[in-house]
Amino acid sequence: MRDDHFISEAEYYAALAEPIALVDESDLNHLASPYFVEHIRQLATRRYGNRDLFRGGLKFHSTLDTRMQAAAESALRRGLEALDRKLGFRGPIGAVPATARGAWTTGPAHPITGPTDDTTAVADQVLPEQVYGAMVVDLPRTGVGVTVDLGPRRLALITDDARDVRAFRDPKTGAAVALGDLLPVRLSADGNQATLAQRPALQGSFIVLEPSTGRVLAMVGGYDWTASQFDRATQARRQVGSSIKPFIYSAALEAGKTPVDRMTDGPFSVTTATGVWTPANYDNKYLGDVTLMTALAFSLNTISVQLAVQVGLDRIIEIMRGFGIASPIPRHISISLGTPDLTPLEVAAGYAGIASGGRRITPRFFDLVTDTAGHVVEDLRNQPPGPQVISPEVDYVMINLMKGVVQRGTARWAAQLGRPTAGKTGTSANYRDVWFNGFTTDLLGSVWIGRDDSTPIGDKITGGGAAVPIWLDFMQKAHPRTPVRDFPVPPNVSFARVEPWSGDPSWPSPEAVWMPFVRGTLPGKFLAGPAIRSFDDLVPPPVLPIPPR
């Protein structure tokens, strides 16, 4: 510019003296959907190497759906915050010295925007839905009220939060909340109320994919990227708990079991190489003789273990490997209760295989790679179907067992979606991990929640109570507005009207459901009377209205 006389000599030397400002790589790559973008960067680097990737100017056409990504991030954050609040107030984030409290009440607001509870930032005004440091200025001796000061505003905490604050005692010192203590609060939408907004001590992941293709449409690897770049969706290996049961039941159905077969839910022991093992149900209660459809719906541990003993661990592990699960799986009967540590992405891929007719589905994060000239370097859009892991007929029966989990079992909350939905909850030992993997014909969502140090989340925190609401929150906002469709019926399937608890033929029972059977496995008690309906005579399901958002 100097040589072409656009700037003077003095301006030239002044520009040379200015420091070069480098933009952090994270600013370029993580402005939006950071966990998703970072995972693509890692995949691309492994696939093409740094030299080709950064010097060659390759362009990756991702599978990301920005609307679904935003909905997944929002649902996970809201769900973790709600669960964290349910687990209790953890105490003040600081305190204002007595000599500085007057200045606080007449000073600016202190927004909390970073990955910590730092309150050094200032702002001239307070805005709805934002989080601020708030000083406790009134704790009446009677009643439940708590008043906080944000600088420009003074507000009362909502009643439930005020009770929690007043009831808090420091677990180490026994100290209660006092005047001058700082609390993280969020202003209500109208700006007239304050609620506690403590940063969750929990973490989670959310994966959304198209089960028929494996296209990953959204992925969230944690509560807050700025606080932790560890991607729990793809890098964390966590105990899967009862999420493993569909793979066990698939092996059992393949071996000739039917949904109405009855087994005894009760205490029993298994002799292993390391001693005698006595599995128990989640609540240490037992239901006696139950059908397999009831056993899966209510996630009865004893039935899962008995099935694993009967069909053998080798076939169960083979099915899991067939669906793309590559993490180590110990060859021990305890895997029947979900002891393997798997990544959420592996679990989601396994469920996608079940959702897609029993064939292997490989998750993918981009469809196309092109160079600077627009030439196609790699095209993944028309990949051949993956290998068949279990037969379409066995898979269809498995899907219907998983529909029972939603219709009348541990994931009943998910039925509010208003579409045919199948899924399975999971809760690992001592409530360290909770899961829900649920799918419709269009979309699969996989939710995991836990603590990074694998300590218990909290007593009685389960997949049905904690993970399912997050899944439903997302699905109600982001599920495609496609016509409502049930899962397609393969050939060689017969249907019978079944009472779920007894497993008997039943037309009049209000709880009776149409249950599929692999042709040739229908029990004799269904072969007479009006309860049977063959595949050939099956009336197509009616076209249902699209449910409201």
State the total domains in the chain: 3
Beta carbons of 411 and 425 less than 8 angstroms apart: yes
Count of residues for the chain? Answer: 549
Q: Is residue 518 part of a domain?
A: yes
Asked, for residue 39, whether it belongs to a domain, the answer is: no
The mean pLDDT value for 507-511 works out to: 77
CATH number (domain holding residue 143): 2.40.50.140
User: Are 235 and 343 part of one and the same domain?
Assistant: yes
Q: Is the pLDDT of residue 173 over 90?
A: yes
Instruction: Give the list of residues 6+ apart from residue 242 with CB closer than 8 angstroms, or none.
Output: 299, 301, 304, 337, 338, 424, 425, 426, 427, 435, 463
Same domain, 449 and 492: no
Q: Are residues 175 and 249 in the same domain?
A: no
The answer on pLDDT for 19 being more than 90 is no
29 pLDDT above the threshold of 80: no
pLDDT over threshold 80, residue 273: yes
245 & 358 share domain = yes
pLDDT at 195: 94
pLDDT at position 6 is 57
* Residues 356, 462 share a domain: yes
The predicted pLDDT at position 282 comes to 84
The total of other beta-carbon atoms located within 10 Å of residue 290's CB is 25
Residue 280: closest CA among 246, 248, 304, 308? 304
Statement to judge: residues 337 and 437 lie in one domain = yes
Q: 469 and 499 share a domain?
A: no
Task: Specify the amino acid at residue 179.
Answer: L
Q: How far apart are CA 323 and CA 373, in angstroms?
A: 37
The per-residue pLDDT for range 49-107, each reduced to its tens digit, is 876 666 668 899 999 999 999 999 999 999 999 999 999 999 999 999 999 999 999 99
Please tell me whether residues 474 and 501 are part of one structural domain.
Answer: no
Question: Residue 59 domain-assigned?
Answer: no
Q: Does the pLDDT of residue 541 top 50, yes or no?
A: no
On whether both 446 and 540 belong to a single domain, the answer is no
Q: Which residues contact 99 (CB under 8 A, 6 or more apart)?
A: none
Task: Please write the tens of the pLDDT for every residue from 351-406.
Answer: 999 999 999 999 999 999 998 889 999 999 998 999 999 999 999 999 999 999 99
Q: Is 456 within a domain?
A: yes
Phi, psi of 292 (to 5 degrees): -65, -35
Instruction: Quickly list DSSP for 513-538.
Output: EEEEEETT---GGGSSSTTEE-STTP
Say if residue 474 is in the same domain as residue 486: no
What does the pLDDT look like over 278-336, one tens digit per residue? 999 988 899 999 999 999 999 999 999 999 999 999 999 999 999 999 999 999 999 99
106 shares a domain with 252? no
Residue 268: CATH number of its domain: 3.40.710.10
82 located within any domain: no
Is the pLDDT score of 22 beyond 50? no
| Residue 95 included in any domain | yes
Of 92-96, 249-253, 425-429, 519-523, where does mean pLDDT reach its minimum? 519-523
pLDDT digits (tens, 9 = 90+) for 203-228: 999 999 999 999 999 999 999 998 99
Last residue of a domain, one of 153, 171, 196: 196
Q: Is 211 within the bounds of a domain?
A: no
In this structure, the answer to whether residues 306 and 358 fall within a common structural domain is: yes
* Tokens found for residue 330: 């110990």
For residue 537, the model assigns a pLDDT of 41
Domain of 521 in residue numbering reads as: 482-549
Q: Is residue 319 within a helix (H) or strand (E), and if so which, with residue range?
A: helix 313-322
Burial of 264 per CB tally in 10 Å (0-12, 13-18, 19+): middle
Give the pLDDT of residue 539.
Answer: 37
- Sheet of strand 433-439, all strands in order from the earlier edge strand to the far edge: 215-220, 203-210, 444-450, 433-439, 422-427
Residue type, 142: T
pLDDT attached to residue 54 = 66
- Backbone phi and psi for residue 289, each to the nearest 5 degrees, phi listed first: -70, 125
Distance CA 383, CA 265 (A): 44
Please provide the average confidence, as pLDDT, over all residues in the chain.
Answer: 90
Distance of CA 461 to the CA centre of its chain: 14
